[in-house]
Each structure stands twice: as structure tokens, then as C-alpha cells.
Amino acid sequence: MVERLVANEKVVGSSPIARSKKIIMDDLSKKKCVPCEGGIPSFNLGEIHKYLKKVDGWDVKKNEDENFYLLKEFKFENFVNAQDFVTKVGAIAETEGHHPDIWFGWGYAKIKIFTHAINGLAESDFILAAKIDKIN
């Protein structure tokens, strides 16, 4: 269904698959993070891989307790650009009520996302990742 809708659009320089992924990412980035207070299971690997297809370039990692999280490193030309990006991420996080771990320095920013209340990943983590991907 998505492929058919996308195929009717005129987008120069991208394949139908790339266009459909962009639409999927756009849909996820338009959703709102839902606060999690625990009591639900974190995503299993099947759910993680399903949602991982909807975000761009995020890695899934395990911590020492075997819990999954999202991680992505962003590169910049200098410290000021990295700081500006981190400020924008902070604004999104505050609006969404979902706060990632952030490291940054000269020319880079690294973002780690997971849902603390369930020690793992849920849909809101991927929503936040999609929103961060739309910065700039």
C-alpha cells in the first residue's frame, strides 16, 4: 500500500524503497512519546528489528545487564555545531518527556536511548530517534 502511494509521487533521485522508508520514518516522527511507568515488557528482538527499519542509522546494543538500547553518533564540523545539535535534542526530549543520555564534544554528539522504567526498548524510543533524525 505504501509503495503504491509513493510510486505516484514525483521524487527525483531516490528509489521507491528509499521513498517508502522516508514515509515510514516521517510517520514515526509524527507520533508522540508515551510516558512509561513500567509494568510492560520491553520489546523483544523481533519488535526491535521491525522498528529499527523505521529509523536511520541507529545501532541496537546491549548493556552489561543484557538490556537493549539505541545508540547513534553524529559528526559535526566543530564544537558549536555539535552543541547546537545537542540543544535541539534537549528541546525535543523535554517536549516529548523522554530523555536520552547525551555525550558531545568537538565535532561529535552521541545519543543513547532506552526506556528506564522497563530497562529496554519500547515504541517511544524509536519515536524519539526518528524525531532526532529530523533535526536540520
How many structural domains does the chain have?
A: 1
Task: Work out whether strand 68-75 and strand 101-105 pair parallel, antiparallel, or are unpaired.
Answer: unpaired
Is residue 114 in some structural domain?
A: yes
Domain membership of residue 44 (yes or no) is: yes
Q: Is residue 127 part of a domain?
A: yes
Residue 7 lies in a domain: no
| Distance separating alpha carbons of residues 65 and 33, to the nearest angstrom | 25
Q: Which domain holds residue 116?
A: 31-133
Indicate whether 58 belongs to any domain.
Answer: yes
HSE at residue 41, side-chain half, CA atoms within 13 A, is 5
Q: Is residue 22 part of a domain?
A: no
CATH, residue 35: 3.30.1360.20
| Residues in the chain where the model's pLDDT stays below 50 | 1-25
The verdict on residue 76 lying in a domain is yes
